[in-house]
Amino acid sequence: MVVVLSANGSGQHNQGRRNGKPNVLFVSVDDLGCTLGCYQDVVAQTPNIDRWSAQGTCFLPAYNQLPLCNPTRAPVMTGLRPDQIKVYELDRRFRDDVSDVVTLSQAFQKAGYFAARVVKVYHYNVPAAIGTDGRCPSATPCR
C-alpha cells in the first residue's frame, strides 16, 4: 500500500484554503508495492507521484501490518494496530471492537475540513455492502 499525504499552503493551489488551513490530499493505493521512482525502482516511470513525494513526505522504510488490504488500511485510518481493532481479514469491521475511535477523516472533519472519499477506504464486504457505516444496503445482513 502506498500512501501520499500532500498539504499545499502556497502559490496558485492556495485558492481553496479556508480559515488559513492548508489543503490536504490523502491518496492510498492498494497492491502497488514499491514500484515507484521515489522508491528507487529503476523501471517505473512515475513522475507525478515522484513529484508529490519530493514535495511532501515519502515514508522510507514503510511497512504494512498484514498482507491484506482491509487490515492494512484500517490501522492507517484509525492509528491503531490490527491486534487492537481485531482486523485480520477482509470482512472485519473495526467498529465492532472500537466503536468510538476517531478515524483520520473524522479528525479532519472535526478540525473543520471537508472530507470525502473516492472508491473504498474501508472494505465492508465491497462490493456487496458499500458504505462507511458498515451496514448492507438491503435488508440482508452483511457477512
Span 80-135, pLDDT tens digits: 998 999 999 888 888 888 989 999 989 999 999 988 877 777 665 555 554 545 44
Confidence of residue 143 (pLDDT cuts 50, 70, 90): very low
Residue 28 backbone dihedrals phi, psi, to 5 degrees: -125, 130
Q: 60-67 — which CB contacts under 8 Å span 24+ positions?
A: 62/2, 62/3, 64/1
Q: Give start and end residues of each alpha helix (H) in the chain.
A: 47-55, 69-78, 82-85, 104-110
Q: Is residue 79 scored above 90 in pLDDT?
A: yes
Tell me the whole-structure pTM to 2 decimals.
0.67
The grid coordinates listed for 25 are 490530499
Q: Is residue 16 scored above 70 in pLDDT?
A: no
Q: What is the pLDDT of residue 66?
A: 84
Confidence of residue 78 (pLDDT cuts 50, 70, 90): very high
pLDDT per residue as tens digits for the range 23-63: 888 877 766 778 889 888 999 999 998 998 888 877 777 77
Q: What is the DSSP letter of 13?
A: G
Cα 87 to its chain centre, rounded Å, is 15
Q: Is residue 141 scored above 60 in pLDDT?
A: no
Q: Is residue 11 scored above 50 in pLDDT?
A: no
Task: Please say whether the beta carbons of 71 and 65 come within 8 A.
Answer: yes
Tell which residue, 134, 127, 128, has the closest CA to residue 103. Answer: 134
Count CB neighbours of 2 within 10 A. 22
Hey, where are the domains in the chain?
A: 1-63, 66-143
Count CB neighbours of 43 within 10 A. 6
